[in-house]
Structure 1
Amino acid sequence: MHSYKKEVGNLGESLAESYLIQNGYIILDKNFRCKQGEIDIIGKDGEYISFIEVKSRYGNLYGTPGEAVNFVKQYKIYKTAEMYILKKKLHKFNFRFDVIEIVLNHKNDDFSIKLIKDAFQI
């Protein structure tokens, strides 16, 4: 089961990266990890550094992918973003937290993608 979830996650992150680039983001980092957690994609969108959580699913049976980004997950992303900002000395920038929802289709290679800018604040 773990490998299936990882495979879906990797596919989602690849689709999200392409989508972000097509929409003018500059990708700064991917899969940034520290003891606080992980951030899927870090990108620059205009004047903002955006910390992006990618959630991919097959269908909405258990809610939208973005609903999985609960307060505990948001807090981990926030703490990880703090470490990234410190490590990269990015204090002068504006920051926000975005979520990308990807719903994949079992029957074909079709998918839907939704970018939620400024999805949460801590």
Structure 2
Amino acid sequence: MTLWRRNLGITGENMAAEYLQRKGLQIVERNFRCRLGEIDIIARQGNCLVFVEVRTRSSGACGLPQESITAAKINKLRRLSQVYLLKRSIYNVDVRFDVLAVHCAGETTINHIENAF
């Protein structure tokens, strides 16, 4: 991954975290990593733990940011969430998977897709 793409991703994740906080969600953890991969943002909304995948694009040349999430990525995020819950000894909590699509072409827009999968 190029430095430019990495910086774009970090910028998108920062914008997504700020957006979620403005919506009243509490950021619990960012960039949780284990051998399976990474969860971008983990937030709490009431008794619901929200696992957030952030996708950032600087142009529309490759489609919308959310269109890049494959079935394999969805399965990976589900497995990662189970690992997170076990490692943090979290039980009896509702979970939800959201996607935040950050589009930075011209004016920046954020599309929040709750219960994306």
TM-score by length of 1: 0.91
CA deviation after TM superposition for structure 1 residue 51, in Å: 0.4
User: 3-state SS of the aligned residue for 2:115?
Assistant: strand
- State the alpha-carbon separation in 2 of the partners of residues 69 and 49 from structure 1: 20
Matched-pair identity in %: 34
- 2: CA distance, partners of 1:95 / 1:49: 5
Detail structure 1 runs of 4+ shifted over 4 Å in the superposition. Answer: none
* CA deviation after TM superposition for structure 1 residue 59, in Å: 2.2
Matched with 2:116 is 119
* Structure 1 unaligned residues grouped into runs of 5+: none
Query: What is the correspondence of 1:8-23 to structure 2 with a 5 Å cutoff?
Result: 8-23=8-23
- Are 2:27 and 1:30 aligned? no
Q: CA deviation at 1:34?
A: 0.3
Secondary structure, counterpart of 1:62 in structure 2: coil
1:60 Cα deviation from its structure 2 partner: 2.0
Separation in structure 2 between the aligned mates of residue 79 and residue 13 of structure 1, nearest angstrom: 21
Show structure 2 runs of 5+ residues with no match. Answer: none
Q: Write out per-residue CA displacement over residues 12-31 of structure 1, whole angstroms, 9 at most, x where no aligned residue.
A: 00000100000000000000
| SS of residue in 2 equivalent to 1:118 | coil
Within 1, Cα distance between the matches of 2:72 and 2:60? 21
> Take 1:29 and 1:98, find their aligned partners in 2: how far apart are those partners?
15
Structure 1 residue matching 2:109: 3-state secondary structure: strand
Residues 31-46 of structure 1 mapped to structure 2, 5 A cutoff: 31-46=31-46
| Cross-structure match for 2:100 | 100
Bigger proportion of residues as strand: 1
* Cα distance in structure 2, aligned partners of 1:2 and 1:82: 30
The TM-score with structure 2 as length reference comes to 0.95
RMSD: 1.1
Check if 1:83 corresponds to 2:83.
yes
Shift of 1:47: 2.5
Structure 1 SS opposite 2:72: helix
Is 1:58 aligned to 2:55, yes or no? Answer: no
